[in-house]
A and B are shown apart, each in its own frame.
Chain A
Amino acid sequence: MRKFLCFLLCCLAVFSALCPLPSGKAFAAEDLELNIMNWEEYIDEGDDETPSVIDSFIEYYKDKYGKTVTVNYSTQGTNENMYTELNVNKNHYDLVCPSEYMIQKMIKEDMLEPINRTSLNVDVYDSGVSPYIANLFKQITIDGKSLYDYACCYMWGTMGYVYNPLFVDQSDVEHWSAVWNEKYDNKCTIKDSVRDSYVLALGYSYSKQLLELADQWKKGEITAEEYNLQITEIFNKTDYQSLSLALDCLKVLNDSLYGYEVDSGKKDMAAGKIWINFAWSGDAVYALDYAEDPDMVGQSTAELYYTVPLEGSNIFFDGWVMPKGANVELAQEFINFIQRPDIALRNMWYIGYTTSIATEEIFDYLVDEEEGYGYREEDVTLIDGAYFVGEGEDLTEVFPVDLTYLFAREAGDSYVVYTDTLGRQFSAQYPDFDTVNRCTVMRHLSDSELTELNNIWADSKEGTSGTKGLYIAIAIAFGLIVFAAAAIWVDKTGILNRHGKKGYTVVKKEDIY
């Protein structure tokens, strides 16, 4: 009995040691703690010489309030993991950065603190954020609550194809059908993530309809908003017909794909193992940078391109949200800090996605000849309907990219960047309005829809031939069993030792007795 008690005590001791202590907030008011959960590689993590954004924030906070804040920074790989982690570790996190469809789910389940714009403020964010994105966040509502009241957009991006123009025709990747093209068998990868790849499947299945709508918009028969609304509906279909169409085309795709990936695609593109990669724009920027960096890939650098197919695609917004029980004051201080244009630039430069902040500073960076991607209107000259920079012999043609939709705060403002290359890093980070308007936001799906979708995804990965490999495996296993049986038979009959060693006579068991 006493031993048992002793054992119980030990158990208790270990349990109490394992149980998470109430977080720092409860201990002392002086000990400030900020628990952040973000995506992997989604913030400027600094290097040997420059501090990370987190360190900068700690320093900034100390300067401003004279208090030291401890930042616990953790990362997750998917929205679903973030959601699970939030449910397991309730009341632990102060700031999380999921994508818009997950934020909708969290708002629906009443997991989030609203942004406090009255007594405290997020003025740096509010004044810096692109009006286009702010409007979009106001428009996305769930149960009557708008995204704008719960989330501060951090980064955004599109989905499209990264391709290697040495092997791939540009006209092919203008449509989602590129990965189904026999020319590129075993040279394409798509995402090992059901919601992203479902967009691809729908874009392919409803290609005709989507292109017709785009045509109507170009002709002016429908407005930009109407067009976007209609394609948003198509890209969020989960009815039986759409699911089975997607299943059929993904099954076919499974057989010709090089593989599925979530991370290795960037390096496989640079190494030339694959020619087309279905990618997020930020990853695309990383892949493009990586592929042309001789320090990374050696002599055989490649010039990759990024494009968003004409049928339309997915656009995503990752936003900072505060789970219930968060330290709102401190969390909003951090939001304000990280959305300062100089910090936003640092993050954007580090991770490759596009910041939601659209201020003069950001625009100045874009048109900075040294660091940025292009030129101002003042720098270019119009010759025969085309734009050029430079003088005399050194004329370079540049192409205007109108970013007014993103930057303009007042009517009449004009923000145009003249860039010498289209389809590369700059286009991936700053798509023009035509591209953005053919991208749609994912809607929050119900549990039954999600389950359906996951089943489709599992089925599609079996391919059209499905179980052929399985039959081979079973056949081999069966063969081995037959072999084993034969071996046992040989053993039992004693064939191997029928004559015995030289000089011996084999005596049967029965003869002995």
Chain B
Amino acid sequence: MNALKFSRKNLGIPYAVFLAVFVILPLILIVYYAFTDANGAFTLSNFTNFFKSPTNVTILIRSFGIAFLSTVLCLVIGYPVAYLLARSNLKKSGVLLMLFVLPMWINFVLRTAAMKELLYFLGMYESGKLHYLNTVIGMVYDYLPVTILPLYTVIQKLDKNVLEASSDLGAKPLYTFINTTLPLSMPGIVSAITMVFLPSTTSYVISDTLGNSKVTIIGKLIENKFNSGAADSWQAGSAIALVLLLLIFVTMFISGKFQNDDDSSARGNGLW
């Protein structure tokens, strides 16, 4: 009985169970379906069928293009905001931060629908040619809060002495920023990229609502495959999901490289 005594490690069990049931098991199922045909026999045709169609490859590249653009825009807009909020001596910076994060508290679908009305009001649908732009705007709008938060946390924790040292050693402010602040806030940037890039490749609610379903991204393609009604619909969908998963691993690997290159493990690393 002694062996069943509570130890601190046991605290991890609920998560381990959760992991096994909701993460590992579905992954195994996806892999299983991706490599079998409708009768359960091993096949690679799900993958060859996917890559044979130029449309599918276009959709894949497009998803990554839209995600890349959204991520860059989020960083370009979010970094200065996070920097100002974290570095300035504003008394009410907490309130300001809340204002930026506030949209996150509103339901995602509702937010997107409201965004559409706003864009319509601004005449973004007049020409009928701006579906990509509208989609990217929607992505940036939806993911800006999750960009600002990690950046804010990391920048706020930066050691002021390091920045002062840089200045004392003769670096101009811009030089200090590029050589000291930016590398030190890299963990926050990588977190932000992970938080924005990965979901925006697949969140087709935004592209459907704001692009009037005229912008097909990879998430939508997977949904279409699953609901095609053909006998191998799950197999075809799973194969695409697996391809996407592999590409995401590659992206994670690359962004992980960034994190390791900078020896900033002391601060805010592994924040997310």
Contact = CB atoms under 8 A, between A and B. Distances in A.
Interface of A: 2-3, 6-7, 10-11, 14-15, 18, 78-81, 83-84, 102, 105, 185-186, 189, 192, 254, 256-261, 273, 447, 450-451, 454-455, 457-459, 461-463, 466-467, 469-470, 472-474, 476-477, 480, 487, 491, 496-497, 500-501, 504-506
Contacts of B118: none
Contacts, number: 143
Given A258-B128, A470-B62, A11 B230 contact: no
A7 B16 contact: yes
Contacts of B175: 496-497
B65 A474 contact: yes
B21 interface: yes
Interface in B120-167: 120, 125-128, 131-132, 167
A469 B132 CA distance: 7
A78 B223 CA distance: 12
23 contacts: A6-B4, A7-B17, A11-B20, A80-B227, A80-B228, A83-B229, A185-B128, A189-B212, A259-B131, A259-B214, A260-B214, A261-B212, A447-B231, A454-B224, A458-B53, A458-B224, A461-B216, A470-B61, A470-B65, A474-B61, A477-B69, A480-B72, A496-B172
Contacts of B234: 84
Nearest to B209: A264
A447 B233 CA distance: 9
A337 to B, nearest CB: 31
Contacts of A102: 229
B66 interface: yes
A476 B53 CA distance: 25
B266 interface: no
Contact of B21 (A14, A454, A504, A506): A14
A18 B14 CA distance: 15
Interface residues of B, number: 58
Nearest to A261: B213
A186 B228 contact: no
B120 A273 contact: yes
A491 B175 CA distance: 8
Interface in B15-63: 16-17, 20-21, 38, 53, 55-56, 58-59, 61-62
Contacts of A500: 170-172
B102 interface: no
Contact of A501 (B171, B216, B231): B171
A477 to B, nearest CB: 5
A458 B221 contact: yes
A409 B24 CA distance: 61
B9 interface: yes
Given A10-B17, A454-B224, 6 more contacts: A3-B3, A80-B228, A105-B229, A192-B208, A258-B128, A258-B212
B69 A473 contact: yes
Nearest to B232: A447
A261 B113 CA distance: 14
Contact of B172 (A3, A254, A462, A497): A497
Interface in B164-190: 167, 169-172, 174-175, 178-179
Given A260-B213, A454-B228, A497-B175, A3 B127 contact: no
Q: Which of A7, A192, A451 has the most CB of B within 10 A?
A: A451
A84 B227 contact: yes
Nearest to A506: B170
A80 B230 CA distance: 9
B68 interface: yes
Contacts of A463: 214
B110 interface: no
A445 to B, nearest CB: 8
A511 to B, nearest CB: 14
B95 interface: no
A477 B224 contact: no
B132 A458 contact: no
A2 B4 CA distance: 8
Interface string B54-86: 011011011001101100100000000000000
A18 B26 CA distance: 14
Contacts of A462: 55, 58, 216
B128 A80 contact: no
Contact of A258 (B16, B125, B170): B125
A309 B174 CA distance: 67
Contact of B55 (A105, A259, A458, A504): A458
A473 B127 CA distance: 20
B13 interface: yes
Contacts of B53: 455, 458-459
B235 to A, nearest CB: 11
Given A7-B16, A458-B221, A470 B58 contact: yes
A457 B229 CA distance: 14
B257 to A, nearest CB: 15
A259 B58 contact: no
A486 to B, nearest CB: 13
Nearest to B175: A497
Q: Which of A189, A254, A447 has the most CB of B within 10 A?
A: A447
Given A476-B69, A496-B172, A451 B228 contact: yes
A18 B21 contact: yes
Contacts of B169: 504
Nearest to B177: A496
Contact of A11 (B21, B55, B224, B226): B21
B230 A447 contact: yes
B205 to A, nearest CB: 12
A186 B125 CA distance: 8
Q: Which 9 A-B pairs have the closest CB atoms?
A: A259-B212, A473-B65, A504-B170, A186-B128, A260-B213, A80-B229, A2-B3, A497-B175, A450-B230
B62 A469 contact: yes
A25 to B, nearest CB: 27
Contacts of A105: 229
B21 A458 contact: no
B170 A454 contact: no
Contact of A461 (B17, B170, B214, B231): B214
Nearest to A273: B120
B218 to A, nearest CB: 12
B60 to A, nearest CB: 10
Given A11-B21, A80-B227, A454-B228, A466 B58 contact: yes
A451 B230 contact: yes
A115 B215 CA distance: 45
A491 B56 contact: no
A259 B213 contact: yes
A81 to B, nearest CB: 6
A467 B132 CA distance: 12
Nearest to A505: B170
